[in-house]
Structure 1
Amino acid sequence: MNHRLFRTLVLASSLGFLAGCQSVESRIKEKPEVYAGLDLETQDKIQQGIIDIGFTPDMVYLALGEPSQKRETKTENGRTQTWIYNTYYNRYDGSQMVGYHRRVYYDPYLRSYRVHYRPAFADTYREEVQENIRITFQNGKATVIEQAKD
């Protein structure tokens, strides 16, 4: 892979990472009235990124940030909203041939220049998505919290 393409890929992934990163403190600054209205125990949970049954969507947002996906379900018991938080990572998929390296050298026995081609390989990665947390809200409160276990 040439250096220019590599730098472009690194820059793009870094910008995507930074855009997705948001601290609890910055989210609290967005919604100070929500945070100020909570008791100290709940504020402490939010500071640690911990959520609990009964949290409102605003409280979950303060603790975990914007979800990767939002889904709405309509049943005979009413509407629910589900927030899904994913983790994204690159999985190593091995090496793959990407072309040839060309080497030109002088052969003193033949008194001429020779060209030798050697296969070139590059590491390949596949983007993986893992669902970590799924929160279901009903009537404005978290009623179900599902978390992935290792």
Structure 2
Amino acid sequence: MYRPLAFLSLSSATLLMVSCTPNTPQTRIANNPDLYQQLTPNHQSLVQRGQISKGMNKKAVYLAWGDPSRSSKGSENGKLFEKWYYIRYTPYYTGGLYGGYGYGGRGYYGTSISRTTNYNSELEAEVKFHKGIVTSWENAR
């Protein structure tokens, strides 16, 4: 017997669990073992610690740091390059207690509490690639 509600509940619960999976180097390695096995032993060690170095390819950087928040392409001294940017989002909260008195045939007084979550974005790290290989990188402090 087909139970749409049970199926929907199970599907929703599965999606929620998958979306809550932490995005760590170990998770990315477990999900991409073939990519990890293609790396040199030195790069494997760095990836496990969430670190990168010059000479790594894009796959190694992905395993170590994940997908970039955004990327760009450009040219420098006649050579094409690509940059990956990692953005950190920090929440901050605004709001307060509001009240007022009004007339609408009879007087009333109302209060409300409001809280809004906003996010500041900051550059956390940047990686530069020439022909798919890391040539430089930096972390913001």
1:129 CA drift (Å): 1.1
Distance in 2, Cα, partners of 1:138 & 1:68: 19
Unaligned runs of 5+ in 2: 1-15
1:59 CA drift (Å): 0.3
**Which structure: larger Rg?**
1
Runs of 4 or more, structure 1, over 4 Å off, are: none
Contact map agreement 2:39 2:60 (CA 8 A) in 1:
no
Give the superposed CA RMSD: 2.8
* Percent identical residues: 27
1:55 CA drift (Å): 1.1
Tell me the residue number matched to 2:121.
129
Distance in 1, Cα, partners of 2:135 & 2:97: 47
The aligned amino acid for 1:62 is L
1:19 CA drift (Å): 6.8
With over 3 angstroms needed to count, the CA separation of the structure-2 counterparts of 1:81 and 1:64, relative to structure 1, is same
With over 3 angstroms needed to count, the CA separation of the structure-2 counterparts of 1:125 and 1:31, relative to structure 1, is closer
| Structure 2 length-normalised TM | 0.70
Q: How many residues align?
A: 121
With over 3 angstroms needed to count, the CA separation of the structure-2 counterparts of 1:19 and 1:144, relative to structure 1, is farther
Contact map agreement 2:43 2:56 (CA 8 A) in 1:
no
| Structure 1 length-normalised TM | 0.66
Unaligned runs of 5+ in 1: 1-14, 102-113
Tell me the residue number matched to 2:7.
none
